[in-house]
Structure 1
Amino acid sequence: MIEIKKLSYKYPGATRFALDNIDLTIEDGKYVAILGHNGSGKSTFSKLLSAIYKASSGKIIIDNIEINAENLPEIRKKIGIVFQNPDNQFIGATVEDDIAFGLENKKINFTEMHDIVLKYAREVGMIDHLDREPQNLSGGQKQRVAIASTLALDPQIIIFDEITSMLDPKGRSDIYKIIHDLHKKTNKTLISITHDMDEALLADKLIVFSGGKVVAIGTPLEILKNKEIIELAKIDSPFVYKLSEMIEGVNPTYDESQLIEEICKLK
């Protein structure tokens, strides 16, 4: 479990807090999407949660261990993060080298390491690209490698920080499927920092930031039906809802199955 208690953060030289007195609990094994407009504090939250930034005040407690200087090595074994720009994560000369890099640092023996690399390359659909140089991959392929590199280290918590914002629709769809499948197959806690409502619909719970504060917590449908929160956080409606609004005789809906059913009833 992740417990956030009175968490605040102010950037050096800033006049206001980027995060202001946040209290949250994130249960184990949940898929949580963090939403909010630019400057809302959601990316700052991810940096604090992954121990990249140090809080100005308050506590972050993971599995009853508080994040502090003494506990950083243990905390970082529990948390993996995939960044917006995968080029910032690449270390190896090939896809295989990159997935193996973290395992080498953990001094995993070669046979076990090779098996782990193959397993996660296969899971993200990159098994046929192990000899390629990461810089020659497409954006979606790069993110797949970044995800595989994180999965190989087997963290209990994985943070996805705006990882689809630089991808085309096909690339986004592929990454959504990987995350959704990961949620179904494992008990890992997945935290996605995003502004994409099509992705947020897949999550168990949404946490909405605005002005450095948490302004709403709920299921995707609870949040998306709250027009006040939608306007405050400047959240864009998902594609399925926009489409349902455009079709005469169909009730606006966030449920793709319901939309298809209503369209089939039209004469």
Structure 2
Amino acid sequence: PTVGISPSQDLLVFLKGIYSAAAKNSEALRKLVKKFDKHIGSIYLSDVLLPELYSSNFFMGQNVIAMAISVLRELLDDLDEVCDDHNDHNGNMSDYLNQNGFQNHEESDEFDVSRRAEEMMWLREMTQHLQKEDIEHAVAHRGFHNPRGRSDLRPLENSLAAFEAAWSNGVHLCECDVALTKDEKIVLAHDDDFTRLALDPASNLANVKVCNLTFKELIALTLKNGVRAPLLLDVLRSAREIGPDAKLIIEIKPGHDQAGTALA
């Protein structure tokens, strides 16, 4: 069967809807776990359930769908160019996919989820086998994330999930970078803008410096894992709820003196 441009565009809209629903569900579950710990002081679920949540279909599915959205968007853009070159506006998406080898992708959703679970298990086992003095001095820079920039196996750097995953799995110290928004909210941000981490790097908001964005605009700026840049206050609240061993090292980069003043 052939697939034209119009049905492919409909699929893109459908995937975006699923992505939005998955993001809302995972965030609701995360808040439910944190709320339980807050009200039931003698029983804590965060250190057990948060790692499971971050390796679940709700959370991992966001990355899979985001990748599919990105690939489909690129294919549609390329196909539009091909159609324009040949004056053919009834482009055949199926033929294009076959030519470029996208239909034979073997990695299933279940496989990706299992790999994410293995990452969490690896972190947990590593912290359990480290000597007490070593774990007390180990620092998770920007939380538990992939230093090479991949966002499919681990949470995104400087995200709330990255810090909660590290602390919940036995890491004591996490390092973060902060910046001050236009409306003076302290948020976590390593770069001057979010071009590198944005789900859509070409979006207008992604290319604006953090200091020139309001927090409302940052909320509208979706990052690779379907998350947004968190408030420093939210990260500190998570650390408090997880326990006294969860500590945050705050780095203020050159040029972000206003963030330092706000912290003081």
Query: TM-score, length-normalised on structure 1?
Result: 0.30
Query: TM-score, length-normalised on structure 2?
Result: 0.30
Which has the larger helix fraction? 2
Q: Higher RCO, 1 or 2 (CA under 8 Å, sep at least 6)?
A: 1
Which has the larger strand fraction? 1
